[in-house]
Structure 1
């Protein structure tokens, strides 16, 4: 125990460095010491410093000399250092190539495998050129560990240089490994081929019947992750006969009892596919029963496993509705379930609800409506309404339960019940209007925009049956300017309905609300609707009746709203991130080869996914003004958007300009093998401390997501003594007129954290002040707090910002020379043109051309951003010297006020410290 404590203390000492100037010299001496133990301890110190973020690249030459050793521990440390710094020191990394090649022939198989694995991890083209020969040797190595490592290295090589991997015959070598006598090698070869085929149109994973038998034989001898690899590959195989289909299902079925949940889900995926291919109904039913029990068993794991299982079960229940109908009680929520698990269980219970079990389900939902978590209570009440919409015969029982909940007089329960009952009225018109009186008793307690809007809709829709409808609507008209736009729109329509049915009694009311909507409102949607109603009434009251009082389409059950084509695609990916996100992999996996639908239903899928991505925008009006009047940071002042003025066309195009021509080189070799990088996730920083917000601490960063939308990535930390159950957000007027979408975050108990997203949406509250700063007000149960953050200007660059050389020249000439600005960028990625271009392209800054002259290389880039209703283009010239890491950035932009912010962010991107 004492020795163990000393070792731990010694290991901890490697991370206690104080970054003294003399350290580098001490480490350099230690790395050159003759004693191997001294060199090993010194390398550990260097690795520790590298781990905590210190730059120790200046020791590259000294560390690399230590690689020539038979000590495996020291060799691993040196290889780790090389992998970390090879991208920034590609020329120096070449020094290690000879040692890599020697190690690939070393008598020790661990060192042979380590050498090949390390070379595969160094994603530098100069190193890749030397990787072919070691792979060719080790792929046929007598040791299975070396062979399986070589299989993985081929996949990495293909990702870096696919053409080389194919030309060298490495893909065929992988296919030969599928018949290897070692199951570990087979599993890694299968995984490597699967990775390659998912990103390449040239390589297709197509097994033969003999290969499948080999995989099934290896299945029982693999490690648990090897089994996952094989099962994932089998899920893509199309059996040639019923007999083969049945055999595969039987051989895979024992994996359903595995302790690893990933193996279970992969086995479920394979068997689920085989079920569709079997023609015998009895065999189908047997297999369905086999996969149902393991799915339920997964719910006994930890919360994270439960969540993944529930997301997969959600898909399976939609594709096979009756599979878990008898196990609905297994989805009842436990008191200690996390909120994300409870919400998934609610959704699945709604999908499994039937006339046979609806009473049990309703009692369970009613019990949940008495919980303390407000979000869970709301979703439970909403689940009752979904059951009513789904099951017509059970609708009355659902309404009775909702009325019982209304009698509790709990404010948020009552309001959610009213929202739900509005949907029931839309599903079953003129059937349950007898309960409207009980709803109106709670009119004074409504304070949420959606609940108010729902109640107004009910009054307006049934205004012919409510005698005092005008008095009830007058309540909302009296506070019209204080209401959100959602409530105002509903009030306008409800009064219009009332007037068309009882014109003599409500003439003054309709005049008042039309005046408020058109003359005193700055909301364009409200004004437009008011003017339409006004003109309809002036031109043809009968036409107004036909439009406003027309029969509405009946809403339908949305519990299985995923399009069939998308659902079938997602079921094929059970056990992967795709099944957790409920999105096809091509949406979030860079380079994934999308498989086009042959049924012509791609448009339906795209529409659904687009609706899911932008549903926050649809809910924007419910939260845009939730913070109240104009007292929050001076927001919502109603000032109209400022016109940027008309531009002279001749000035824009530079007609008649006598400016000198830019000269581009004919070669654009720097762009030859550039792959578009994924935009790096921004680092969150502390934006709001707990002492300034009664206990709420906020970390955040502004990001441009893969869909081209802006979002605030936030982490809420509750350092108060009370739970936080809801959020509302608002922005002050800002340069680009951005407004927040609905805050997507869970409630948190004291001492807890939660991650969330605030979509940043286009709006009309532009400010004349030019600044990337966004001032934010956030409202929670603790009150209103304020903070601010700056938008990285590169996040504003849109995806269609590329242009050709001729267009670049024309635009360059159209912008006066005196507007050009120059700044220096230290530590730029100047030594690697491909890396520089890729890094900028990941931020939508697109390479146009390059020009070399007298040791300098000029790279020309274009980028676009939206300002008002216009697309503004920025032209960049980055001048790189072969002898200096520093570069110059020249910027031209018609909107000159943004040039300093563009320069600052581009310099940040090209910097190595970024």
Structure 2
């Protein structure tokens, strides 16, 4: 729509739907076009205009391209919810796919791919087959992408109708954009298939390399990414590929540049000529440097990729270290990445420059950055033996500034330098001891204690220094306690005089009797037994020579590094994790509800709830588990303080439950996500309470996005207002990576009731054999307790209403609720055991009288007032149980939305 079309968004008239219906069926073209624009505007702002489906589809028969686009947009959005009516549009698709105008033919084929309705898929095969062989390249390239979308809906149909072969034929097309789209479609299909579908041969290779020169930038990215999977037969072919790809390094689009870098790096492994390799390294440096002049977000992605490249081929950027010097206005995430790369590129030749930079960074205002800079100096000392002394003198200068966090970070890295170069730089210990009083961070304290213990024989007052730490031993973190214990034992073994004897007695007593940390207790008992039975053996154990630590600037395992380099310019190279650890490429087993509630990504309108209970993150589409976490947590978050008894006896439960076969997949909408995969280290849990045949169940779904099998699932519920507890063991078969399962767990009410005012909070704990215990919150919807016997006769309803005093009547407005149809609302409420009794008109409002009943015979007498199609519902209730009224209104608001 153009700028002046904004007026279509201001349609708020009460009789909007009937009015639009009339306009859509007008005999005037302009009026019909304006009506369709109004419908699209209403749809865009979230209004339900699905009842106009037939009328909008009738407007498809038009030569006006703008109008046809709008009708197709409407069709994409509502075909999912109106699959039977979507069949009405099939004839128009078939007709449009043969239209003389190639834009209309392409539009028809694009929309066919976006309508994800199984029933009409087979009708679209003939038009698609024609369009794949169309004379116009624009139509062919659109049809190529449509095949990938069709494969996602019905893989078997695509293979049976020979579409894969047609796609492979398009790789030889004379139009480079058709080639690029065919490659993109085949790569997409390959990703979701377990068997080889798209394999590049030497013949295909030359076609792709030729198309590369004339494609659009994203076409080039698709082709380059596919070429990166090709393994050259020999060094000569590898050189040929590199020669053809190298011009792409000059491209303005950084995705093209990184994809070209990826291919060159992979092919360089096969090239034997050192001159060619050296020349390629020279050519790759300028484009990588250019990426660092882009905006910060692109810089960050480039830096994460460069981080991998310099671990494999440091010579590429060995002379370019200056471009990684931090600018004052760089965002912190860019500075941190630059720092990492500078450490990797630091050498004896440039160390003086690098140390000057680091020293300057250590005086900046951002504490995290300063710490990282100080630690970087230490890491350079460990990496470069000849520069170690210069690094230490810089660290000592920083210690003299007496900025607390700088001193602490310096002590941490000096401990590592002592480990790297034993008996070399111990003369600086006296300077370190001057800063003893300022230490308040566990890691810095632990490092200083290690230094005192390790060099106790060289420090005259070592016992006094350790004693100052021992005064606060019980309050110290475990890290400090463990170091104190070992350091005191070292001191005693080196100076077995009276002072250390008393200290060791106090420490061993503290560490065995007054601690609940098993690591500390076990270590203390081992030392105690060693000292009391064989002091010489204790010396051999505690004072044994330490292995020299090594440079950790290239932390990645070589096989992982190769895998990440093969995935440059993807999320994998940004996260520095293999793709399978955060993206599941294997489709989950189809579920019975997939046809109704499948992937809605094409439409742009999510059918799953936008947010899980209590702020859980939005759920992904049902049936897949392709979540990309922003950050993988290192461990489970601690349980909330309000859950002391939850899972208290979990470890004592009978674990010998034999898993039964996975229950049949449940039909119904996708469940709200309560534990997103980003929090659950790849495990995603979705759940909600539901009622079937008079029984409450917990409908729960598990999706395994981890690289390993998950099994041994158990569940427990904390005390809650309704005493809900599991009525049986949770039975889930072992979950393979990428697999999901859904099951109904029978619940028993009034078992474990929590005291206090009623609330809807349900605290849940789930455990499996591979992960920590996960805790999450759910809500108990009151309507799951509404009994099937809640219907009242009119006379009984009136009598009950009159018999309850007025102070038992409560009213609440639901501004977000809209009743679009009285019959549909009554039907929906009846499905949740809220039963219709009578209806009357009051001015232009409908007043409904309904009844519901809780266990133990507690009735709810309900009056709902609303105008059809107008936002805002008023609900009044009379009940003898006043405490339950807030939860009742919560339930009614959910049921009328």
Q: TM-score, normalised by structure 2?
A: 0.69
The answer to whether the aligner puts 1:49 opposite 2:34 as a matched pair is: no
1:73-105 Cα distance to aligned partner (Å, 9 max, x none): 222222222222333333333332222222222
Mapped partners of 1:352, 1:252: distance in 2: 27
What is the aligned counterpart of 2:558 among 554, 558, 564? 564
1:767-800 Cα distance to aligned partner (Å, 9 max, x none): 996369xxxxxxxxxxxxxxxxxxxx9xx99985
The answer to whether the aligner puts 1:359 opposite 2:349 as a matched pair is: no
1:515-545 Cα distance to aligned partner (Å, 9 max, x none): 3233333333333333333343344333333
Deviation of the 1:514 alpha carbon: 2.5
What is the aligned counterpart of 2:372 among 370, 374, 379? 379
Change (3 A) 1:820 1:452: closer
Equivalent residues in 2 for 1:419-568, closer than 5 Å: 419-504=412-497, 505-568=499-562
Change (3 A) 1:437 1:667: closer
Change (3 A) 1:472 1:591: same
Check whether the contact 1:703–1:710 (CA below 8 A) recurs between aligned residues: no
Q: Secondary structure at the match of 1:61?
A: helix
Deviation of the 1:16 alpha carbon: 4.5
Deviation of the 1:131 alpha carbon: 2.7
Alignment match, 1:319 = 312
Check whether the contact 1:415–1:448 (CA below 8 A) recurs between aligned residues: yes
Change (3 A) 1:386 1:30: farther
Alignment match, 2:584 = 590
The answer to whether the aligner puts 1:146 opposite 2:164 as a matched pair is: no
Alignment match, 1:770 = 719
Alignment match, 1:369 = 362
Deviation of the 1:190 alpha carbon: 1.2
Mapped partners of 1:301, 1:867: distance in 2: 43
What is the aligned counterpart of 1:94 among 87, 106, 110? 87
The answer to whether the aligner puts 1:281 opposite 2:274 as a matched pair is: yes
Check whether the contact 2:25–2:32 (CA below 8 A) recurs between aligned residues: yes
Change (3 A) 1:301 1:799: farther
Deviation of the 1:140 alpha carbon: 0.3
1:639-696 Cα distance to aligned partner (Å, 9 max, x none): 999556966999x99xxxxxxxx9x9x996989xx9x99x98789xxxxxxxxxxxxx
Mapped partners of 2:349, 2:256: distance in 1: 34
Mapped partners of 1:811, 1:195: distance in 2: 34
The answer to whether the aligner puts 1:708 opposite 2:683 as a matched pair is: yes
1:35-63 Cα distance to aligned partner (Å, 9 max, x none): 33333333333333333444433433333
Mapped partners of 1:379, 1:568: distance in 2: 27
Check whether the contact 1:708–1:798 (CA below 8 A) recurs between aligned residues: no
Mapped partners of 1:704, 1:375: distance in 2: 24
Mapped partners of 2:11, 2:416: distance in 1: 64
Deviation of the 1:461 alpha carbon: 1.8
Equivalent residues in 2 for 1:713-724, closer than 5 Å: none
Equivalent residues in 2 for 1:147-226, closer than 5 Å: 147-226=140-219
Alignment match, 1:896 = none
Change (3 A) 1:871 1:234: closer
Check whether the contact 2:478–2:520 (CA below 8 A) recurs between aligned residues: yes
What is the aligned counterpart of 2:338 among 345, 362, 379? 345
Mapped partners of 2:895, 2:71: distance in 1: 22
1:202-241 Cα distance to aligned partner (Å, 9 max, x none): 3343233332222222222111111112222222223344
Mapped partners of 2:563, 2:248: distance in 1: 23
Deviation of the 1:384 alpha carbon: 0.8
Deviation of the 1:416 alpha carbon: 1.0
The answer to whether the aligner puts 1:304 opposite 2:322 as a matched pair is: no
Unaligned runs of 5+ in 1: 594-611, 626-632, 654-661, 684-700, 712-765, 773-792, 822-844, 846-862, 878-882, 890-903
What is the aligned counterpart of 2:240 among 231, 235, 247? 247
Deviation of the 1:281 alpha carbon: 2.1
Mapped partners of 2:326, 2:442: distance in 1: 29
Number of residues of Structure 1 aligned to a counterpart in Structure 2: 701
Change (3 A) 1:259 1:521: same
Deviation of the 1:272 alpha carbon: 2.0
What is the aligned counterpart of 2:570 among 568, 576, 584? 576
The answer to whether the aligner puts 1:107 opposite 2:100 as a matched pair is: yes
Alignment match, 2:392 = 399
Mapped partners of 1:142, 1:494: distance in 2: 82
Mapped partners of 1:265, 1:225: distance in 2: 12
1:442-462 Cα distance to aligned partner (Å, 9 max, x none): 111122222122212221222
Mapped partners of 1:334, 1:870: distance in 2: 44
What is the aligned counterpart of 1:616 among 628, 634, 643? 634
Change (3 A) 1:124 1:535: farther
Mapped partners of 2:545, 2:25: distance in 1: 87
Deviation of the 1:388 alpha carbon: 0.9
Mapped partners of 2:531, 2:632: distance in 1: 35
1:706-742 Cα distance to aligned partner (Å, 9 max, x none): 623899xxxxxxxxxxxxxxxxxxxxxxxxxxxxxxx
Q: TM-score, normalised by structure 1?
A: 0.68
Deviation of the 1:463 alpha carbon: 1.9
Mapped partners of 1:51, 1:865: distance in 2: 43
1:555-594 Cα distance to aligned partner (Å, 9 max, x none): 211111211111111112222222212222222333269x
Alignment match, 1:412 = 405
Change (3 A) 1:644 1:304: closer
Change (3 A) 1:189 1:486: same
Mapped partners of 2:673, 2:382: distance in 1: 41
Change (3 A) 1:86 1:499: farther
Mapped partners of 1:357, 1:35: distance in 2: 78
Unaligned runs of 5+ in 2: 588-629, 687-714, 754-763, 779-783, 785-823, 834-886
1:824-848 Cα distance to aligned partner (Å, 9 max, x none): xxxxxxxxxxxxxxxxxxxxx9xxx
The answer to whether the aligner puts 1:31 opposite 2:24 as a matched pair is: yes
Check whether the contact 1:801–1:864 (CA below 8 A) recurs between aligned residues: no
Change (3 A) 1:817 1:416: closer
Mapped partners of 2:774, 2:674: distance in 1: 25
Check whether the contact 2:324–2:338 (CA below 8 A) recurs between aligned residues: yes
What is the aligned counterpart of 1:66 among 59, 75, 78? 59
Deviation of the 1:111 alpha carbon: 1.5
**RMSD value over aligned CA atoms?**
4.6
Mapped partners of 1:680, 1:568: distance in 2: 38
1:263-288 Cα distance to aligned partner (Å, 9 max, x none): 11111122222322222222222122
Change (3 A) 1:225 1:405: same
Check whether the contact 2:632–2:678 (CA below 8 A) recurs between aligned residues: no
1:601-647 Cα distance to aligned partner (Å, 9 max, x none): xxxxxxxxxxx9988349x9xxx99xxxxxxx98999x999556966
Check whether the contact 1:144–1:182 (CA below 8 A) recurs between aligned residues: yes
